[in-house]
Amino acid sequence: MLLLSLAVTSIVGTVIPQNENPAAYFRAYGEFVYKLFNLLGIFDMYHSWWFQFLILLLTINIVVCSIDRLSATWKIIFVKNPLFNLSRFRTLSQKEVFTGKQNPEKLSTVYETVISGQFGYTRVEETDKGLCIFAEKWRWTRFGVYIVHFSVILLLLGGLIGSFFGFEGFAIIPEHEKIDSLRIRNTGQVRALGFEVLCDDFNISFYDNGTPKEYRSSLTIIEHGKPVYKKDIIVNDPLRYKGINIFQSSYGKMPSGALQKEKIHKKDPPEDITLNFASKESGNAYKIKAVIGKPVDLPEGLGKFVIVEYRKSAEFGGQNIGQAYLGILTPKDKNPINIILPLHFPNFDKMRGGAVVISVAEQETKIFNPGEKSDQRYYTGLQITKDPGVWVVYTGFIGMIIGIFITFFMSHQRVCIEIVKRGKQSQIIITGTANKNKLAMQNRIKKISEKLINLQ
């Protein structure tokens, strides 16, 4: 009955991979005729109910089979005094026989020390014809196959955890911008990240032959308005933060030109502005970061300056001068002066003829990507995932490798060295069994026999 159920379940095990073949083929082919497959509803067949059902069937098969057999194996593995059936060893056809020059008692003590060095368990028993040394090792390797099966279950479990509690999504961040959510792949749902990701910079480098060498995004994680973590990510080197992984996935160029420049400054008010202050008296120039509404002290005791507001299209003398900051300069011991700082005309403030010339430092976009046109801006495409099941899967991976190794390359080996009394001498018969790889066991028996012959 047990054997029959085993046979049936192994048939199931052999049928499943065959069902997989056309499946995989269709999936691969589906890329070409996406629409057709979408229409047929099997485009996403790996997540289809019938495919999941097959996986479930495989899982049940493994579990049932393993539990079924484990109870039997359990009894074999956990025994205090392993049973050795002498008559079974005597019937083995492969045996090594030689003659010893001493009586069985003396030989057995010599042999036992040699054998116990090679096997974990040894025992000497008296037999009807003399003495017998039983030895065995690696009884526990009978567990190997269960380790493999358990690992397969872990893999599936890890995958399940991932699909329930994890997500896989995508986000596009233009340089200098940030995001706080992502789009889930397949469904297109928007999901909040719980923090913000700022793309400080994106760089692509090329080999001499023009093929891409590296895609690099400099990212900053911002939590509660504060940057908490910075990392450059490249393909194969993601950023991991609070269980969320961010991978370099794709990139592209933002639509170029004025439109895009406008976009930069649409983010009103900009977070930090760098201003140039050139002192007329000393000829020195200073770069100072400013924030709208916060006065800054000028070097050389030149006074104070504060940006009051930002205008997308400021006017001066009835002329539109484009984007500009409006500020107030308060020179030392003098009255405040209204100042206009147009972004596109750095020399504008020179006309005022004051003690200090103020201008807006060039936008950072222009410094980046020296190989590119100054107004070229990239966006970076990021794969964003969360998979709490990944450690379960990795445990399964490790277990599987170890399990397969144990299952195929280690075996429960037993030897029986029978020492039969022949007058003053003895005849020694060595036999052995292994639950796997019997050919190798035969060689092992030969080696043991050679070693024992040499002891004389």
Partner 1 sequence: MNSSVLLSITTFAYGLATFFYFAFLIFKKPLLGRLGTWTVFTGVVVNAAGIILRWVESYRLGIGHAPLSNMYESLVFFSCTIGIIYLVIERKYKTSVFGAVATPLAFLAMAYASLSPNINDRIQPLIPALKSNWLIAHVITCFLGYAAFAIAFGISLIYLFKQRDAADKSNFLSHFPKSRVLDELTHQMVMFGFLFLSIGIITGAVWANSAWGSYWSWDPKETWSLITWFVYATFLHARMMRGWSGKRIAYLSILGFMAVIFTYFGVNLLPGLHSYGSG
Q: Does 400 bind partner 1 (CB under 8 A)?
A: yes
Alpha carbon 340 to its chain centroid, in Å, reads 53
CB neighbour list of residue 66: distance below 8 Å, 6 or more residues apart: 146, 149, 150
Selected binder of partner 1 within 24, 39, 72, 351 (CB under 8 A): 24
Q: Does 247 bind partner 1 (CB under 8 A)?
A: yes
- For residue 40, what are its two tokens? 């047929």
Selected binder of partner 1 within 134, 150, 215, 310 (CB under 8 A): 215
Residue 177, burial from CB neighbour count under 10 angstroms (0-12, 13-18, 19+): middle
CB of 113 to partner 1, least distance (A): 30
**Using an 8 Å Cβ cutoff, are 284 and 278 in contact?**
yes
Q: What is the Cα–Cα distance from 286 to 359, expressed in whole angstroms?
A: 11
Site string for partner 1, 76-105 (x = CB under 8 A): ------------------------------
Selected binder of partner 1 within 39, 67, 228, 235 (CB under 8 A): 235
- Which residue stretch of 93-101, 222-230, 357-365, 388-396 sits at the interface with partner 1 (rule: CB under 8 A)? 388-396
Place of tokens 């977070």: 271
**Rounded to whole angstroms, what are the CA distances from 370 to 52, 146, 207?**
51, 59, 16
Q: What is the Cα–Cα distance from 246 to 268, expressed in whole angstroms?
A: 28
**Using an 8 Å Cβ cutoff, are 363 and 353 in contact?**
no
Q: Does 126 bind partner 1 (CB under 8 A)?
A: no
**Using an 8 Å Cβ cutoff, are 402 and 147 in contact?**
yes
* Number of residues counted as binding partner 1 (CB under 8 A): 50
Q: Does 29 bind partner 1 (CB under 8 A)?
A: yes
C-beta of 219 vs 341, nearer to partner 1: 219
CB of 383 to partner 1, least distance (A): 4
Q: Does 14 bind partner 1 (CB under 8 A)?
A: yes
C-beta of 112 vs 168, nearer to partner 1: 168
- Which residue stretch of 265-273, 323-331, 387-395, 415-423 sits at the interface with partner 1 (rule: CB under 8 A)? 387-395
In this structure, how many other beta carbons lie within 10 angstroms of the beta carbon of residue 305?
24
- Which residue stretch of 217-225, 322-330, 346-354, 398-406 sits at the interface with partner 1 (rule: CB under 8 A)? 398-406
Selected binder of partner 1 within 4, 79, 259, 439 (CB under 8 A): 439
Q: Does 21 bind partner 1 (CB under 8 A)?
A: yes
Positions in 195-214 near partner 1 (CB under 8 A): 207, 209, 211-214
Q: Does 238 bind partner 1 (CB under 8 A)?
A: yes
Q: Does 2 bind partner 1 (CB under 8 A)?
A: no
Q: What is the DSSP string of 246-259?
A: EEEEEEEEPP-SHH
Q: Does 180 bind partner 1 (CB under 8 A)?
A: no
**Using an 8 Å Cβ cutoff, are 451 and 96 in contact?**
no
> In one letter, which amino acid is 123?
R
Positions in 142-171 near partner 1 (CB under 8 A): 159, 168
- For residue 159, what are its two tokens? 């995958």
Q: Does 34 bind partner 1 (CB under 8 A)?
A: no
Q: Does 20 bind partner 1 (CB under 8 A)?
A: yes
Q: Does 31 bind partner 1 (CB under 8 A)?
A: yes
CB of 123 to partner 1, least distance (A): 29
In this structure, how many other beta carbons lie within 10 angstroms of the beta carbon of residue 401?
13
Q: What is the Cα–Cα distance from 397 to 411, expressed in whole angstroms?
A: 22
C-beta of 45 vs 124, nearer to partner 1: 45
Q: What is the Cα–Cα distance from 453 to 237, expressed in whole angstroms?
A: 60
Any bridge partners for residue 445, and if so which? none
Q: What is the Cα–Cα distance from 354 to 22, expressed in whole angstroms?
A: 80
Q: Does 232 bind partner 1 (CB under 8 A)?
A: no
For 349-371, b/e burial (b = at least 16 CB within 10 A) is beeeebbbbbbbbebebeebbee
State the residues that interact with partner 1 by CB under 8 A: 6-7, 10, 13-14, 16-17, 20-21, 24, 27-29, 31-32, 46, 159, 168, 207, 209, 211-215, 234-238, 245, 247-249, 383-385, 387, 390, 393-394, 397, 400-401, 404-405, 408-409, 437, 439
